[in-house]
A and B are shown apart, each in its own frame.
Chain A
């Protein structure tokens, strides 16, 4: 079922525009918190626009590393992998894991702060 308009992206853009509008009248801590709020809304917009394909690829990566299939809920994958690393399951092949974990962080940073990535990691 589709909701009435505005859709989620339009809701977020409306909030973002409002924050931008009041920004010139703010100073000190209020201005700082408003900038952070703007940043949070931008993260939400990118998550909405770009996360789906990144998430699919990242789930596939984490399932492979955890050696589990679709039966395991995606929300538990990061915790499972963390537990495997802590248990020493990857000792002796830590190097292999490096690029997988780098790819895992790239997926997250594409949403949270894409401008922070090195140029070669900004686009597929």
Chain B
């Protein structure tokens, strides 16, 4: 049913090929060392390394897709790459793109970016005393980064035009749901509810698409240093971006600070608007927050679907049972018990 490719996971092979990839671009005297395999996430492997050449040394990061299926809702690395370049041009904080992998590299799909210092772990960002200065800075920095991003003309990112989520966000979720073939009454209810209460269409903007606590680098003293994980980028409403960030899915236990556990929803909207972001429609924002639960439930079902289609691990099995608590939050939000 699925055609899938798994990239070689022998780390010694990956390092040898990465060294060759660096030499092909920067010359035979280039080398790599100080290698650290940071994480193997759901769909990516992150390898940190130094690019050394004589006395010069710089820290880089290989981001390599580890799992590809024909039904992936994620942007392929070849589409993420140009987005990073657009962001750099417009002063949106992202890791600077260095080079994209090609077939000769034999490293699958991915790219290399500059290393940016910072922490991603939500618990640390939201509760560690060392990050108190960053927490104070974060709301205005994040709001400004989003306002800048959303101000970029969609004509600069036409590669997002044919992304299913850009064309019809709800329809794209429906398509994914049908593929996974697991009927859920609560998700059908959410589809129906959202279809019947769609906000008025407004011009779409370039959004990150997965802007949430955990997908950004934060320095304890400097605050936000980079937005990561661009594989969900699309054209949509600003309320889609803010709704995902403010939904209950991403507060990591700090429930009274709706904006990712950092500040209240109202504070974040005010910061976004004063940074030049479009005026936020509160009814649309609520609609997108409900939509966020549906999207997150479907991501979890997708991860379990991957588990049943060759990429097996306890974590992916667990995703299948996570769906229930997301459905619970979704019903609590629809019935007005959760905000």
Q: Which residues of A contact B (CB under 8 A)?
A: 29, 32-34, 36-37, 39-40, 43, 62, 78-79, 81-83, 85-86, 88, 90-91, 94, 97-99, 101-102, 104-106, 108-109, 112-113, 116-118
Interface hit among B260-268, B280-288, B329-337: B329-337
Beyond the given pairs A85-B185, A86-B192, A90-B189, 19 more chain A to chain B contacts, judged by CB atoms under 8 angstroms and listed by A's residue number, are A36-B317, A78-B184, A81-B188, A82-B183, A82-B184, A86-B188, A88-B192, A94-B192, A98-B189, A102-B332, A102-B335, A104-B185, A105-B325, A105-B328, A109-B328, A112-B324, A113-B322, A113-B324, A118-B332
**B318/A40 in contact, CB under 8 A:** yes
Instruction: Provide the residues of chain A in CB contact with B324, threshold 8 Å.
Output: 105, 108-109, 112-113
Tell me the bound Cα distance from A62 to B185 in angstroms: 10
B contacts with A: majority SS: helix
Instruction: Provide the residues of chain A in CB contact with B335, threshold 8 Å.
Output: 98-99, 102
**B183/A83 in contact, CB under 8 A:** yes
**B317/A40 in contact, CB under 8 A:** yes
Tell me the bound Cα distance from A118 to B329 in angstroms: 10
Interface residues on B, range: 20 to 34
- Distance in angstroms from A106 CB to nearest chain B CB is 7
Instruction: Provide the residues of chain B in CB contact with A90, threshold 8 Å.
Output: 189, 192
Tell me the bound Cα distance from A1 to B183 in angstroms: 35
**B318/A39 in contact, CB under 8 A:** yes
Please tell me which one of the listed residues B39, B186, B313 contacts residue A105 in the complex, with CB atoms under 8 A apart: B186
Q: Which residues of B contact A (CB under 8 A)?
A: 39-40, 183-189, 191-193, 196, 313-315, 317-318, 321-322, 324-325, 327-328, 331-332, 334-335, 337
**A33/B331 in contact, CB under 8 A:** no
Known contacts A37-B314, A109-B324; A104/B186 CB under 8 A: yes
Tell me the bound Cα distance from A104 to B325 in angstroms: 11
Known contacts A98-B334, A101-B185, A101-B189; A116/B40 CB under 8 A: no
**A85/B189 in contact, CB under 8 A:** yes
**B314/A118 in contact, CB under 8 A:** no
- Distance in angstroms from B181 CB to nearest chain A CB is 10
Q: Interface centre among A43, A91, A102, A116, by most B CB within 10 Å?
A: A102
**A116/B325 in contact, CB under 8 A:** yes
**B183/A40 in contact, CB under 8 A:** no
Please tell me which one of the listed residues B186, B191, B315 contacts residue A36 in the complex, with CB atoms under 8 A apart: B315
- Distance in angstroms from A78 CB to nearest chain B CB is 6
Instruction: Provide the residues of chain A in CB contact with B332, threshold 8 Å.
Output: 102, 118
**A94/B40 in contact, CB under 8 A:** no
Instruction: Provide the residues of chain B in CB contact with A105, threshold 8 Å.
Output: 186, 324-325, 327-328, 331
- Distance in angstroms from A111 CB to nearest chain B CB is 8
Known contacts A83-B183, A105-B327, A108-B324; A97/B314 CB under 8 A: no
Instruction: Provide the residues of chain A in CB contact with B317, threshold 8 Å.
Output: 36, 40
Q: Which 7 A-B pairs have the closest CB atoms?
A: A82-B183, A108-B324, A79-B183, A36-B314, A85-B188, A105-B328, A81-B185
**A98/B331 in contact, CB under 8 A:** yes
Tell me the bound Cα distance from A90 to B189 in angstroms: 9
**B328/A82 in contact, CB under 8 A:** no
**A109/B325 in contact, CB under 8 A:** yes
**B321/A101 in contact, CB under 8 A:** no
Tell me the bound Cα distance from A94 to B335 in angstroms: 11
Instruction: Provide the residues of chain B in CB contact with A86, threshold 8 Å.
Output: 188, 191-192
**A106/B328 in contact, CB under 8 A:** yes
Tell me the bound Cα distance from A105 to B321 in angstroms: 11
Tell me the bound Cα distance from A66 to B295 in angstroms: 26
Tell me the bound Cα distance from A49 to B187 in angstroms: 27
**B321/A82 in contact, CB under 8 A:** no
